[in-house]
Amino acid sequence: MKKETSSNSLNEQFLFLNCELNSALNMISGRWKAQIVYSIWSGNDRFSLVKRELSAISEQVLSRQLKELETHAILVKIPIPDTVPAGISYQLTSKGIALVPILQTLCDWGKQYAEGKRIHLLEDI
């Protein structure tokens, strides 16, 4: 937990209030969020399907990242009726769908300027 009066916390608050870019980056920052958004956009709408596609992610991290994306209204959880145990489907909101081409552009930028590092994010949308 951050101390709210620390200079780091105050600087973060200042940046969020004065630049929407910082708020936007905060919503999508995290090692897996972009890949999760793309996976759901590609049709992997269940936890197990996203986990299968992103096999290196732990279930705990996937769960936390999904909750954060839901908090930022990038995706929603939809209960699947008549399933035991209760099934959940994930769907991108209009905000999440609007994010996909932005992530693709960032991926293209990364491919060009990643200094020899191979980028696997959002290839061939």
Are residues 56 and 113 part of one domain?
Answer: yes
Residues 64 and 19 sit within 8 Å (Cβ to Cβ): no
- Do 26 and 61 sit in the same domain of this protein? no
What average pLDDT does the segment 99-112 reach? 91
Query: Are residues 56 and 43 both part of a single domain?
Result: yes
What digits encode the pLDDT tens for the residues 30-88?
889 999 999 999 999 999 999 999 999 999 999 999 999 999 999 999 999 888 888 99
Do 10 and 58 fall into the same domain? Answer: no
What domain count does the chain have? 2
Confidence band of 14 (pLDDT split at 50, 70, 90): confident
Domain interval for residue 79: 31-125
* pLDDT at res. 9: 76
Is residue 12 domain-shared with residue 48, that is, in the same domain? no
* Residue 110 in this model has a pLDDT that exceeds 90: no
- Residue with tokens 């959002």, as numbered in its chain: 122
Kindly state whether residues 8 and 44 are assigned to the same domain.
no
Together in a domain, 42 and 82: yes
Note whether 26 and 54 are same-domain residues.
no
pLDDT of 77: 96
pLDDT at 100: 96
pTM above 0.75? yes
Closest by CA position to 40, among listed 73, 106, 108, 89: 89
Q: Does 55 lie in the same domain as 40? A: yes
The single residue listed with the structure tokens 């954060």 is: 68
Q: Which of 83, 82, 88 is nearest to 40 (CA)?
A: 88
